[in-house]
Amino acid sequence: MAVTFLADPRLFGLVSGSDPASPRQRHLGRRAFLGVVATGVSALWWGDAAWRGAGKLLSVPSSLQAALPAPGTGWRIYSVNPPMPTFDRRSWRLRIEGLVERPVELTYDELLALPRSEQVSDFHCVTGWSVPDVRWTGVRFAELLAPARPSRAARALSFVSMERPYVDSLTLDQASRPDAMLAYAMDGLPLTRPHGAPVRVVMPAMYGYKGVKWVERIVVEDRPTNGFWEQRGYDRNAWVGHSNGY
Ligand SMILES: Nc1nc2c(c(=O)[nH]1)N[C@H]1C(S)=C(S)[C@@H](COP(=O)(O)O)O[C@H]1N2
Ligand SMILES: [Mo]
């Protein structure tokens, strides 16, 4: 495989800092967010004019999420429970379990040996920033799941991050979209630690919180369950432009 593990110099300096920040939210169900907004609205530290103009603004306690700008890239690095997980190529395994005939454990090299897909898609965070034309390389979920042989009752996938307690899910239909994948490279380089090394979920039609970083386990289930942000009021079906983050 052509992929080698290189540090991305654009992001290298970001790993050590961890200024906590509180992304603001608009148009979210008030009741669902009562717990979250209890700490009140804090400063929008990255100063996005579009957001200052938004009417109803809610905040998330800084203890729930750290954000770092990645200068020049358009990305902001999110993590709910710093420090970010570290990836050890030798000991890392991706486990696929749950409603399967054969639970599977893949090494990083085995993952890279699976049929590879590539795509260019836009990325949208529900807090209002986007990154156009991200080139992702990885494995389609159908290819990834085939060896585990999901049972007839299988309807959904839960993605469990090495970063506890971050988790999210997709229905099998959603995961079967031609632009959904488990990605191990971004813009031609292996995923960096801030972006979720070694693998993250890519679901361009939905907001970024569906894209679990530092994935270590995929659980096949009979129904989707609420992910980290969904337990805090965001829509599980996070369609860009058609969910409560819109
Ligand atoms: N494990 C984990 N995955 C995560 C998050 C997180 O905090 N922890 N944040 C999500 C959100 S809200 C967004 S917008 C993207 C941000 O991706 P980035 O940090 O690579 O910019 O990651 C998503 N995946
Ligand atoms: Mo996000």
Confirm or reject: Cβ of 79 under 6 Å from ligand 1.
yes
Q: What is the pLDDT of residues 150-172, one digit of tens each?
A: 999 999 999 999 999 999 999 99
Residue 14, amino acid: L
**What is the average per-residue pLDDT within 52-73?**
61
CB of 214 within 6 A of ligand 1: the answer is yes
- Residue 239 included in any domain: no
Burial degree of 183 (CB within 10 A; 0-12, 13-18, 19+): buried
Query: Is 87 a member of any domain?
Result: yes
Q: d(Cα 45, Cα 206) in Å, to the nearest integer? A: 25
Does residue 245 belong to any structural domain of this protein?
no
Q: Kindly report the CATH number assigned to the domain that includes residue 35.
A: 3.90.420.10
pTM comes to: 0.79
| Tokens 């799941």 belong to residue | 145
Considering the domain boundaries, does residue 2 fall inside one? no
Closest atom, ligand 1, to C-alpha of 70: 21
User: Is residue 215 domain-resident?
Assistant: yes
Atom of ligand 1 nearest to the CA of 196: 20
Instruction: State if residue 80 touches ligand 1 by the CB under 6 angstroms criterion.
Output: yes
Report the distance separating Cα 240 and Cα 228, nearest Å: 18
Whether 240 maps to a domain, the answer reads: no
| Residue 67, in any domain of the structure | yes
- pLDDT digits over 91-149, tens only? 999 999 999 999 999 999 999 999 999 999 999 999 999 999 999 999 999 999 999 99
Token couple for 1: 């495989």
- Torsion angle, alpha carbons of 219, 221, 223, 225, to 10: -30
186 CB near ligand 1 (under 6 Å): no
- Is residue 35 scored above 50 in pLDDT? no
User: Is residue 27, in this structure, part of any structural domain at all?
Assistant: yes
In which domain, by residue range, is 162 found?
9-232
Number of domains comprising the chain: 1
CA distances (Å), origin 108, targets 182, 186, 189, 215 = 12, 16, 15, 12
